[in-house]
Chain A
Amino acid sequence: MWKWLHPYAKPERSYQLCQTLLPWFAVLGGLSLFVGTMWGLAFAPADYQQGDAFRIIYIHVPSAILSKSLYCTMAIAAFVGLVWQVKTAFMAMVAVAPVGAMVTFVSLITGAAWGKPMWGTWWEWDARMTSQLILLFLFVGVMSLYKSFEDAQQGGKAAGVMAMVGIINLPIIHYSVEWWNSLHQGATILKMGKPSMAPDMLWPLLLCIVSWVLVSSAIFLLRLQNEIVRREIKRPWVVELALQNSKQQAPNNMSTDRG
């Protein structure tokens, strides 16, 4: 397997791979996001307790699931980079972080908008929301650490160390927050019990989860390409690629540009 994987450690090959995958992820992701969201919003039956407010689930749950798994993805990429010194792994880590931060942010605001009609408050210091907020801080920390280095290689390694520290801490944070929550307030929060969902509601939810995975992978691939180009900006293959791109888009642009 290593033999098959190894060429992709080369930035140029990874760029090409991203280029082939990107349209698929983007088109399928956009399409399924549209279909899933419309299905959930307009066609799924309303919940008998929460009425139509429950439809927020079709954006809240996918983003909440993705937020933690994207942090894990980032930490795995950091681990691969730190242990095997794979440059592309650091680039992948840097590319995942903003996507993860965005998804965490979405899960927070949708959670707040769901909390207002259901619990009567925009923000409740309940365990899941609090640990989600901390997760957002962790993402932002990794991103800003990377941004503050001028040298991308060094910044990538530093951010990688921080991502590893974060992933070790994540379970500790999660359980401590849960424990803190049960100490400070009784079980006043309306627990969203998990009765088995009706298939009519479940199918659009599954489609939404898949579509969020696809869309964030598409954004990740795009950002990974940017990261590769940014680091290899002086290499001949990047220059060639840029020339090809400009020829495809505007065949006579170059001649006027030179004037």
Chain B
Amino acid sequence: MSPIIALFKRDLILAYHNRAELMQPMMFFMLVISLFPLAVGPNAATLKIIGPGVIWVAAILSSLLGLERLFRDDFQDGSLEQMILSTTPLPAIALVKVATHWLTSILPLICLSPLLAVFLHLNEAMYWALLVTLLLGTPLLSLIGAIAVALTVGLNRGGVLLALLLVPIFIPLLIFATSAVDAAAMELPYTAQLAFIAAMLLFAFALAPFAIAYALKVSQN
């Protein structure tokens, strides 16, 4: 069995064992979004305007929460060191870890999004736009986030630092994604925004694995 596939399976199994911890970002996502109607009032028109932005901000925040555990366990029990020393190229390993992390902790958030769209009174066109932007945008979150996670994995308290490092970098994604949903709300085409997100995703896909690999080596010193 190829080591890449073995790693993939191992990470999936580990994630299955840690179900409770995986639920936390999801619960956070739900809670943040249900806070907004309580804060700004239940007016459907207002909620419809702020809805896409709220969902995206909540998605960024909860993915930051979930990202922290991307390399943490492997770093603490020493298996990360083994991976760095192994003959399998480190960027490939990093990519597999990011992919499993996306599958196990971000995909559930996306599955939850129809419910939240109902909460925030999004119409159907807006919901489809939101779903597509989430599907294209969250892998980008994971890929770029993994660089910062790899850098801060050796630090004891990386949580706030991670947000400080990553939030400014996620701003373009937030802008394009919310404007795509806004365009959908006005029944305008939003392929341009999607193309931008896809371009950023491909770019990150090409470069991020190498940056993650270097960052892991720095952290492991």
Indicate yes or no for A touching B, C-beta below 8 A: yes
Q: Which residues of A contact B (CB under 8 A)?
A: 82, 134, 137-138, 140-141, 144-145, 148-149, 151, 154, 157-158, 161-162, 164-166, 168-169, 172-173, 176-177, 179-180, 183
A172-B144 Cα distance, complex, nearest whole Å:
14
Q: Which residues of B contact A (CB under 8 A)?
A: 144, 147-148, 151-152, 154-155, 161, 164-165, 167-169, 171-172, 175-176, 179, 182, 196, 200, 207, 211, 214-215, 218-219, 221
Cβ–Cβ < 8 Å partners of B172 in chain A: 169, 172-173, 176-177
A158-B147 Cα distance, complex, nearest whole Å:
10
Cβ–Cβ < 8 Å partners of B221 in chain A: 151, 154
A82-B218 Cα distance, complex, nearest whole Å:
11
Q: Which of the residues A82, A138, A151, A168 comes within 8 Å of B168, measured between beta carbons? A: A138
B165 pairs with A145, CB closer than 8 A: yes
A177-B200 Cα distance, complex, nearest whole Å:
15
B219 pairs with A176, CB closer than 8 A: no
Pairs across A and B, CB under 8 Å, 21 listed: A140-B164, A141-B164, A141-B165, A141-B168, A144-B161, A144-B164, A148-B152, A161-B151, A161-B211, A162-B148, A162-B165, A165-B148, A169-B169, A169-B172, A172-B200, A173-B172, A176-B175, A176-B176, A176-B196, A177-B172, A179-B175
Cβ–Cβ < 8 Å partners of B219 in chain A: 154, 158
Cβ–Cβ < 8 Å partners of B167 in chain A: 137
Cβ–Cβ < 8 Å partners of B148 in chain A: 162, 165
A-B pair number, CB within 8 angstroms: 74
A134 pairs with B155, CB closer than 8 A: no
Instruction: Give A166's nearest chain B residue, CB to CB.
Output: B169
Instruction: Give B179's nearest chain A residue, CB to CB.
Output: A183
- Whole-angstrom distance from the CB of A152 to the nearest CB of chain B? 12
Cβ–Cβ < 8 Å partners of B147 in chain A: 161-162, 165
A149-B165 Cα distance, complex, nearest whole Å:
14
Top 8 A-B residue pairs of the complex, sorted by shortest distance between their CB atoms: A176-B172, A137-B168, A180-B175, A158-B151, A141-B165, A157-B218, A176-B175, A172-B172
The listed residue with most B CB atoms (<10 A of its CB), out of A149, A165, A179, is A165
A176 pairs with B151, CB closer than 8 A: no
Cβ–Cβ < 8 Å partners of B152 in chain A: 145, 148, 158
Cβ–Cβ < 8 Å partners of A180 in chain B: 175, 179
- Whole-angstrom distance from the CB of B196 to the nearest CB of chain A? 8
